[in-house]
Amino acid sequence: MPEMPPPKILIVDDEVAQMRALCNTLKDHGYETVGFSSPTAALAALQKTEFDLILSDLMMPEVNGIELLQTALKFSPNLVGIIMTGEGTITTAVESMKSGALDYILKPFKLSAILPVLERALAVRRLRLQNEALEREVRSRTSQLEAANKELEAFSYSVSHDLRAPLRHIGSFAKLIEESETSLSPTGKRYLELVTGAAGRMSQLIDDLLNFSRNSRAEIRRMNIPLQEMVEKIIGELGPDTEGRNIVWKKGPLPTVQADRILLQQAITNLLLNAIKYTRGRNPAEIEIGSLNDSDHEVTVFVRDNGAGFDMKYADKLFGVFQRLHSSDEFEGTGIGLANVRRIIARHGGRTWGEGKVNEGATFYFTLPK
């Protein structure tokens, strides 16, 4: 490893003999020192050379140590200043700290007192430089992320438009064939249904992918949300999806939570639609939504059903994009609904998981921080 250069200290004291003695002493202890008896000359040197530390006498004829330090920090914000004083008063210490000094040392000097102060000052200097580098890195990464998000958004809309156009053509021509006087055999009609169905599923997949992409970028706007009211509203809006079904809704007490209203409503809607879909073969279907208050740090909400369930050995696949535990012949879907739930809840700082048993129903849980 290359050898690190010695720390560079600027020493300013109008008592020339004392300034030179301090320079020589600190050189013997591994510091590179530059001394001035004039604050004006010291400031001129600061504009040309970078120093790690500045040791300045408090009382000087041209500029006092506090004024010198305040000006020096304008040139070099990460410079660490130490005031030297013979007064030794609390007022001096307070004024020194207000000026931006890290510490002060008393005259006459004792080496055993100066060296620990210098070591602490250098540690602070290193920390400031590391923080500055980290802030630059964060700004750079944030800028890159914002640019990538903009590109992703533009790409999403472009893909959406480019994919929808041929799908619209497929749907339109299929409808024209269906409405034309052309006689189709039963096999031909079946093929036409398959084409129309595939185009519809593709259109739904595009919508789901766009929603999944947006949910990773949407700004979180937290507010107090009474979950009881939100769930009642969602169930009411799901009327067309439950028409003709015998569904028994069970609603336990639900708390007020802090979350983004739009995103949380989407997550709960997805969970309830999931339960409606997988209880299709049940009469009656039973769907329960409730909460557990078993933690001081988070609230747990669950959606339970008596539907098709799943094998727990595949539980790790439940929330993956395009991961489905049932064939599309049994239950329609694109495999993105639960992935959306996980992404939304994760962005709120919560967790998601599921429990189930084949043909005995499933329960999906999510948590939100209190």
Q: What is the pLDDT of residues 311-328, one digit of tens each?
A: 888 777 777 765 555 545
Query: Which residue did the predictor score with more confidence, 86 or 27?
Result: 27
Q: What is the pLDDT of residues 33-45, one digit of tens each?
A: 999 999 999 999 9
Provide the pLDDT for residue 99.
Answer: 74
Amino acid identity at 48: K
**Closest to 10 measured CA to CA, from 62, 57, 66, 61:** 57
The Cα–Cα gap between 176 and 264 comes to 41
Query: Which residue did the predictor score with more confidence, 293 or 269?
Result: 269
Burial 33-59 (b: 16+ CB within 10 A, else e): bebbbebeebbeebeeeebbbbbbbbe
The Cα–Cα gap between 315 and 300 comes to 19
Residue with tokens 């639960």: 338
The DSSP output letter for 53 is: E
Provide the pLDDT for residue 112.
Answer: 86
Q: What is the pLDDT of residues 44-92, one digit of tens each?
A: 999 889 999 999 988 888 888 888 888 998 888 888 998 888 766 667 7
Task: Report the chain's mean pLDDT, rounded to a whole number.
Answer: 84
Q: Is 287 exposed, middle or buried (0-12, 13-18, 19+ CB in 10 A)?
A: buried
Provide the pLDDT for residue 322.
Answer: 56
Task: Examine the pLDDT at 226 and tell me if it is beyond 90.
Answer: yes
Please indicate, yes or no, whether the overall pTM of this predicted structure exceeds 0.75. no
Q: What is the pLDDT of residues 323-346, one digit of tens each?
A: 555 545 555 555 677 888 898 899
Provide the pLDDT for residue 326.
Answer: 52
The Cα–Cα gap between 271 and 289 comes to 10
The Cα–Cα gap between 78 and 81 comes to 9
Q: Is 125 helix (H, G, I), strand (E, B) or coil?
A: helix
**Closest to 344 measured CA to CA, from 328, 364, 329, 359:** 364
Q: What is the pLDDT of residues 144-191, one digit of tens each?
A: 887 877 776 677 667 666 777 787 888 888 888 877 767 778 888 888
**Closest to 11 measured CA to CA, from 40, 42, 49, 41:** 42
Range with lowest mean pLDDT among 84-88, 280-284, 354-358, 362-366: 84-88
The Cα–Cα gap between 79 and 72 comes to 8
Task: Examine the pLDDT at 141 and tell me if it is beyond 70.
Answer: yes
Most confident stretch, 61-65, 128-132, 149-153, 294-298: 128-132
Provide the pLDDT for residue 181.
Answer: 65
Burial 256-277 (b: 16+ CB within 10 A, else e): ebebbeebbbbbbbbbbbbbbb
